[in-house]
Amino acid sequence: MSQLLLDVNGLTMRFGGLVAVNKVNLKVKNRQIVSIIGPNGAGKTTVFNCLSGFYIPSEGSVMFNGKEVAGLKDFQISRQGLVRTFQHVRLFSKMTVIENMLVAQHRHLNTNLMAGLLKTSSYRRLEQEAMDRAAHWLEEVDLLEFANREAGNLAYGQQRRLEIARCMVTQPELLLLDEPAAGLNPNETKELDELIVRLRDEHEISVLLIEHDMGLVMGISDHIYVIAQGTPLADGTAEDIKNNPDVIKAYLGEE
Amino acid sequence: MTETLLYLIQQLINGLTIGSTYALIAIGYTMVYGIIGMINFAHGEIYMIGSYVTFIVIAGLVSMGMVSLPIILVVALIVAVVIASTYGWTVERVAYRPLRGSNRLIPLISAIGMSIFLQNYVVLAQGSRDVALPPQISGGWTFGDPAVFEVSFSYMQALIWIATFVTMVALTLFISRSRMGRACRACSEDLGMTNLLGIDTNRTIALTFIIGAALAAVAGLLLGLYYGVVNPFVGFIAGLKAFTAAVLGGIGSIPGAVLGGLILGVTEALTSAYFPSEYKDVVSFSLLVLILLFRPSGLLGKPEVEKV
Amino acid sequence: MQNNKFMSALFAAGITFVLACLMIGVKLDTESTTLAVRGATAEQWTWIGLGITLVFLSQLFSNQIDAFFGKLPKPKVGSLLPTGDKMTTLKPWLLAALIVGMVIWPFMVSRGAVDLATLTLIYIMLGLGLNIVVGLAGLLDLGFVAFYAVGAYTYALLSMYFGLSFWVCLPLAAAFAALFGFVLGFPVLRLRGDYLAIVTLGFGEIIRILLNNWTAVTGGPNGISGIAKPTLFGLEFTRRAKGEDAQTFHDFFGISYSSSYKVIFLYLIAVLLVIFVIYLINRLMRMPIGRAWEALREDEIACRSLGLNRTAIKLSAFTIGASTAGFAGSFFAARQGFISPESFIFIESAIILAIVVLGGMGSQVGVILAAIIMTILPELAREFSEYRMLMFGLLMVIMMRWRPEGLVPMKRPHLELKQ
C-alpha cells in the first residue's frame, strides 16, 4: 500500500512579471523514484527551490506527509525530512569528509553549550552515534577510506556521492536530486543509478530527480513529469513519455 | 499660521538642506556598492578632505586679495572636486583593486583601514582642532509673522538646494546618456559579463570612485560653508549617515540614495527640534536597523533574488 | 615597455604630488578671527619630495621589487612549532611551563611592567572574543566595544548602587553583554555581512551616546570613579580595610603592605580569565557549534539545505563573543577603578579588529601575538604615539593586500574518524 508522500498542487512562481513556474502538479508516493525532465530553462530547478523553501512560491500548495510546507523556511522543511542536493556540488570543501557528514547531523547532536564544554556523557554518546551513522553512510557510497580527506580534494564523482551521503545522514524521507549525473562518466553514472535504486529499495525513501541523462531517467523512474517553459506538458511512465508526441515536439522542435 | 506650524516649516527647511548633502554623499556609496558590492568605508573621509580643500582654497584666495565671491567659490569647487577625485581614485587603486575577487570581508577591512589612515593623515597634516571659516554667504529670505515665529531660508540653504539639484540632474543625464554611463550600468548588472564584452571594467570602476568622490567633494564644500567649521572627524559620522541614507533608499539605486538622504535629513531635524539634539544620531541609526529589518532592500531598491 | 613603465611611474609621482600638496603642503591656521593658510616648512617639503621620489622609484622598479619580495621566504611563524606526534606529547608540558612562567614572572619585574602585561591581557581577551565572531563565524562586528562597555558599566553600576562584589558581577557582566548581543544580533544577523558591519558600528555609537547622555545613572561624560577593586576571598588589597569586618590581605598574612600586591593580584586574575577564554574557544572549535560556524562560512546555502538554522548559529557566535567582551569589560572597570564613555569609542573597536586581522582571523596564537605587539609597541615607541592610529590603518590595508591570512594563519583542529 503506497501512500502519498509529496503532493504539489498548482505550484506557481513569479519573478516580477516573469512566470517561471506555472501551475505545476507533482505527486510522489512512498518508495518511488520520480523524475522531472524538460529542456534547459524549463523551470525545473525553480520547482526544487520552491519545494525546498529557498523560494516562497507565489501560489499553490506543497503538502509533505500531509502537512503544508510551502512558506516554511528552508531549514524547517529540511528538518521535516525533505532534503535536496544542488546542480553544482556544494560541499564544505575545506572540511574533511567526516566533518561534512557531522555538520549535516547538527540538529541530532547535543548542541547545549554546557554539555559540550563539560563533555557530558549524553554529549559524547550522541557524538559517537553521529560518527557511526556517518561511517555507515560513507560505507554505503564507498567513501569510507576517504573519511579523513578534505572534501575539496575528492574526485568529482566522489564529491557527488558525498553530497548524497550527506543528505542521507540527515535521515530524510524524500531526497531531491538536482542533476546528479551531470559531469559524470558512464561508469560513474551506472554506479549512481544503482545507488538511487538502492536508496528506494533498501532504505525505503523516495527520490525526486531532475536529470538530463535520459538513459538514467528512463531506466529507474517509476513516474516522469515533463515541464516546458514552466508549464506541465505531460506525465506518466517511461513508456508513456517516450511515445508522447508533445514531448517529442518540445525536445526536438516542430517538424 | 500658528507658531507650531511655522516652527515645523523651519525644521523641514533645515532638514532638507542637510538631507540633500547626505544624498550627495550617499550616491557615492550606492554607486560603488552597485558595481562591486562593497561598502567604501573611506568615502566619508573623502567628503572631509573635500571640506578641507575648500577651506584652504578660500582662505588662500582671500589672503591673495581676491574679492569676487563667485570666482572664489567656483575655483574652490573645481579644486575640491579635482583633489577629492584624485583621493578617491587613489584609494580604489591602492586599497581595493588588488583585492578584487577575494572574500567579502577582506576589502571591507581594507576599507576600514583606509578610513582610519585618511582620518589620521589629516589629523597629522592639519591638526585635530576645529578650523573655522567666516561665513561667505550671508543673508536670506524670511517670512511668517515676526511676532509669532519667523521662518528663515538663507541664501546658503538655497545654494545647497540648487547645487544638489543641478548635480543630480547632471549625474542622471550622464548615467543614462553617455557611453561611460552605459558601461557603469552594465557593470552593476554583471561585472564579469561586461568584462567579457570588451569593456574595461577596471576603468569603469575607477570612474565610479571618481564620480562618487567628486559628489562627496561638492557636499564637503556646501556643508563646510554651511556650518563654517571642519575637523578631521566629520567624515566618519557623515559617512555613517550617508550610508544609512543609501540603505534607506535601497542600496544600488541613485534615486533611492537621494530619497533616503532627504528622509534622513528631515528625521534628524525633527528629532533635534523636539528632543535633545544628542539623540538625533540614535534615532537615525535606529531608523537604519528598522529599515533593514522590515525592508532590507530599502525603499526603492530591487529585492534580491538569491541564486541557488 | 620600459617607456611605458617610466610614464606610469611619472604619473604615480604626479598623483602623489597632488595628494600631498594641498594636505601637507599647506596648513590652515586661525589667526585671530580670520583663517589663513601657511605653507609647509622647508623640512616638510623635503619629506614630501622624498615621498614623491620613493613612489616614483618604487613604481619604476616595481617588477624588480616584486621579484625580490617574491624570492624572500614568507615568515612562517606557525612552522616554528614542532608538528605532529611530537607536538601532542610536548604540548601539555609546554603549556604547563608557560602557565608557571606567567605566574612567577610578575614577582621578578617592576610594577609598571606587570601593569602593562595586565593591559595586554585585556586586549588578548577582547581579541579572542572578537575572533570568535569575525574569525570563526565570519561576521564582521565593528561595534565590539559596545559589549565591552556594557560589561564595564554593569560592574561599575552594580558595585556602586548595590555594593555587589567583583566576583559576583563578573558572570553577571558577561551575561548582560551576552543579552545585549542577543537582542542586537537577533534582528540583524539575517542581514548580509556588510550590513551587519554597519549596523554594529551604529550600535556601538548608540551605546556610547546613551552612556554619555544618561547622566543621572552613568554620570555622563564624567564617568564613574571609585569602583571597588576585586578581593581575594574577601581580603582587600588596600592599606586599610574599608568595611566593618573586612580584612586586608597583608594583615591576614602578617606581611607588610605593598601596593604591588594589588597589581600582581589583578594580573593574576587577568591570566586566569584569559586561560578560561582560551579553554572555552578550544572546546567550541571542536564542538558541533564550531563545526557549524565553519560550515556556514564555507557555504551558507548548503547549510540551510541540511536543516541548519543559520540565524541561531550566527547568534550563538555573536552572543558568546559579546560575553567575553563583557568579561573583559568588567575586569577593565575593576582594574582602572574609573570608567567613562571616552574609553569606548569606535577606535577601540578598530584596534581590536586590527589585532584579529593582524594575528590571523580564526587563529588564537596569532591573535595573542598580535595583541602583545599592538599593546607593547606603542609603549616602546612613545615619541611616535601620534602616528599610532595612522600606522594601524596602514597596517590593516597592507595586511589585507599581502597577507590576508594574518601573521599566524588559522589551523583548524580536524576531527578524525578512527577506523
DSSP for B10-75, written as a single string: HHHHHHHHHHHHHHHHHHHHHHHHHHH----TTHHHHHHHHHHHHHHHHHHHHHTT---HHHHHHH
- Compute the count of residue pairs across chains A and B with CB atoms less than 8 Å apart: 6
**Do residues A4 and A34 touch, judged by C-beta distance below 8 A?**
no
Mutate which: C136, C289, C310, C417, vs A, most A CBs within 10 A:
C417
Q: Which residues of A47-80 are buried (b: 16+ CB within 10 A; e: fewer)?
A: bbbbbbbbbebeebebbbbeeebbebebbebbbb
Looking at residue C243, what is its pLDDT? 63
Query: Higher pLDDT residue, A143 or A250?
Result: A143
Condensed to tens digits (0 to 9), the pLDDT of residues C25-69 reads 788 877 666 777 777 777 888 888 888 888 888 888 877 777 777
Q: Do A49 and B305 lie within an 8 Å CB cutoff?
A: no
Please tell me the number of Cα atoms within 13 Å of A164 on its side-chain side: 29
Amino acid at B278: E
Furthest C-alpha separation in chain C: 85
Q: Do A86 and B306 lie within an 8 Å CB cutoff?
A: no
Please give the average per-residue pLDDT across A205-227, as a whole number.
89
Condensed to tens digits (0 to 9), the pLDDT of residues B122-141 reads 998 888 888 888 888 888 88
Residues of B in contact with A15 (CB under 8 A): 305
Asked whether residue C23 carries a pLDDT value surpassing 90, the answer given is no
Class of domain B3-294: mainly alpha
Looking at residue A110, what is its pLDDT? 72
Which subunits count as partners of chain A given 3+ CB pairs below 8 Å?
B, C
Condensed to tens digits (0 to 9), the pLDDT of residues B76-101 reads 999 999 999 999 999 999 889 888 87
B306 at interface of A, judged by CB pairs closer than 8 A: yes
Q: DSSP code of A150?
A: B
Helices (H), C192-338: 193-213, 215-218, 249-253, 259-286, 288-298, 300-305, 310-336
Q: Do C417 and A92 lie within an 8 Å CB cutoff?
A: no
Query: Higher pLDDT residue, B38 or A164?
Result: A164
Sequence-separated (6 or more) residues with CB below 8 Å from residue A21: A11, A12, A13, A43, A46, A47, A50, A57, A227, A230
Q: Do B105 and C138 lie within an 8 Å CB cutoff?
A: yes
Looking at residue C127, what is its pLDDT? 95
Looking at residue C419, what is its pLDDT? 60
- Compute the count of residue pairs across chains A and C with CB atoms less than 8 Å apart: 105
C288 at interface of A, judged by CB pairs closer than 8 A: yes
C299 at interface of A, judged by CB pairs closer than 8 A: yes
Residues of B in contact with C346 (CB under 8 A): 236
Looking at residue B53, what is its pLDDT? 93
Q: Between the ranges A37-46, A200-209, C61-70, C405-414, where is the mean pLDDT highest? A: A200-209
- Compute the count of residue pairs across chains B and C with CB atoms less than 8 Å apart: 176
Condensed to tens digits (0 to 9), the pLDDT of residues C267-318 reads 999 999 999 999 999 889 888 999 999 999 888 899 999 989 988 999 999 9
Lowest average pLDDT, out of A80-94, A198-212, B15-29, C238-252, goes to C238-252
Please give the average per-residue pLDDT across A22-44, as a whole number.
89
A92 at interface of B, judged by CB pairs closer than 8 A: no
CA nearest to A219, candidates A244, A190, A246: A190
A15 at interface of B, judged by CB pairs closer than 8 A: yes
- For chain C, what is the mean pLDDT? 84
Looking at residue C21, what is its pLDDT? 78
Looking at residue C86, what is its pLDDT? 66
Q: Do B306 and A15 lie within an 8 Å CB cutoff?
A: no
CA nearest to C367, candidates C319, C397, C410: C410
Looking at residue B79, what is its pLDDT? 94
Residues of C in contact with B95 (CB under 8 A): 397, 400-401
Other CB atoms within a 10 A radius of the CB of residue C171 amount to 13
Q: Which residues of A touch C (CB under 8 A)?
A: 52, 54, 73-75, 78-79, 83-86, 90-96, 98-100, 102-104, 106-107, 109-111, 113, 116-117, 127, 131, 134-135, 144, 147-148, 166-167, 170
Residues of C in contact with B98 (CB under 8 A): 401
Asked whether residue C377 carries a pLDDT value surpassing 90, the answer given is no
Q: Is C31 helix (H, G, I), strand (E, B) or coil?
A: strand
Query: What percent of chain B stands above pLDDT 70?
Result: 97
Lowest average pLDDT, out of C116-120, C141-145, C201-205, C384-388, goes to C384-388
Class of domain C92-229+265-402: mainly alpha
CA distance, residue B49 to nearest chain C CA (Å): 8
Domains of chain A, each with CATH number or no CATH: 1-81+172-255 (3.40.50.300), 90-170 (no CATH)
Looking at residue A196, what is its pLDDT? 92
Displacement of CA B154 from its chain's centroid (Å): 21
Looking at residue A1, what is its pLDDT? 41
Query: Higher pLDDT residue, C35 or A225?
Result: A225
Amino acid at C155: Y
Residue of A nearest to C301 (CA): A90
Task: Cell numbers for C163, please give them.
Answer: 555594593
Looking at residue C238, what is its pLDDT? 73
**Do residues C331 and C177 touch, judged by C-beta distance below 8 A?**
no
Task: Cell numbers for C276, please give them.
Answer: 578560561
Condensed to tens digits (0 to 9), the pLDDT of residues C147-195 reads 999 999 999 999 988 888 889 899 999 999 999 999 988 888 877 767 7
- For chain A, what is the mean pLDDT? 88
Residues of A in contact with C417 (CB under 8 A): 98, 131, 134-135, 147-148
CA distance C95 to C117: 18
CA distance, residue B150 to nearest chain C CA (Å): 30
Query: Higher pLDDT residue, C388 or C69?
Result: C388
Amino acid at A13: M
CA nearest to B260, candidates B283, B279, B244, B240: B244
C289 at interface of A, judged by CB pairs closer than 8 A: yes
Residue of C nearest to B99 (CA): C401
Residue of C nearest to A128 (CA): C417
Lowest average pLDDT, out of B71-75, B116-120, C186-190, goes to C186-190
Looking at residue C233, what is its pLDDT? 76
C-beta contacts of B77-81 below 8 A and 24+ residues apart: B77/B218, B77/B221, B79/B53, B79/B54, B79/C22, B80/B50, B80/B53, B80/B54, B80/B217, B80/B218, B80/B220, B80/B221, B81/B50, B81/B214, B81/B217, B81/B218
Q: How confident is the model at residue C122 (pLDDT cuts 50, 70, 90)?
A: very high
Sequence-separated (6 or more) residues with CB below 8 Å from residue C85: none
Q: Between the ranges B18-22, C59-63, C105-109, C213-217, where is the mean pLDDT highest? A: B18-22
Q: Do B56 and C138 lie within an 8 Å CB cutoff?
A: no
E strands of C121-261, at which residues?
224-225, 235-236, 247-248
Q: How confident is the model at residue A2 (pLDDT cuts 50, 70, 90)?
A: low
Looking at residue A12, what is its pLDDT? 92
Please give the average per-residue pLDDT across C4-14, as a whole number.
84
Task: List chain B domain ranges.
Answer: 3-294
Residues of A in contact with B306 (CB under 8 A): 54
Looking at residue A16, what is its pLDDT? 78
- In this complex, the residue of A83, A106, A111 whose CB is nearest that of residue C305 is A83
Looking at residue A246, what is its pLDDT? 83
Looking at residue B307, what is its pLDDT? 55
Query: What percent of chain C stands above pLDDT 90?
Result: 25
Sequence-separated (6 or more) residues with CB below 8 Å from residue B278: C209, C212, C213
Q: How confident is the model at residue A255 (pLDDT cuts 50, 70, 90)?
A: very low
Looking at residue C242, what is its pLDDT? 67
State the helix-helix crossing angle for C259-286 and C84-104, rounded to 10 degrees. Answer: 160
Task: List chain C domain ranges.
Answer: 2-65, 92-229+265-402
Asked whether residue C363 carries a pLDDT value surpassing 70, the answer given is yes
The reply to whether the predicted model has a pTM over 0.90 is: no
Task: Cell numbers for C339, please give them.
Answer: 570608567
**Do residues B3 and B143 touch, judged by C-beta distance below 8 A?**
no
Which subunits count as partners of chain B given 3+ CB pairs below 8 Å?
A, C
Task: Cell numbers for C358, please give them.
Answer: 593582524
Q: Do B306 and A45 lie within an 8 Å CB cutoff?
A: no
Q: DSSP code of C23?
A: I
- For chain B, what is the mean pLDDT? 86
- In this complex, the residue of C280, C298, C415 whose CB is nearest that of residue A96 is C415
E strands of C316-400, at which residues?
338-339
Q: Do B112 and C34 lie within an 8 Å CB cutoff?
A: no
B308 at interface of A, judged by CB pairs closer than 8 A: yes
CA distance B89 to C146: 33
Distance between first and last Cα of chain B? 58
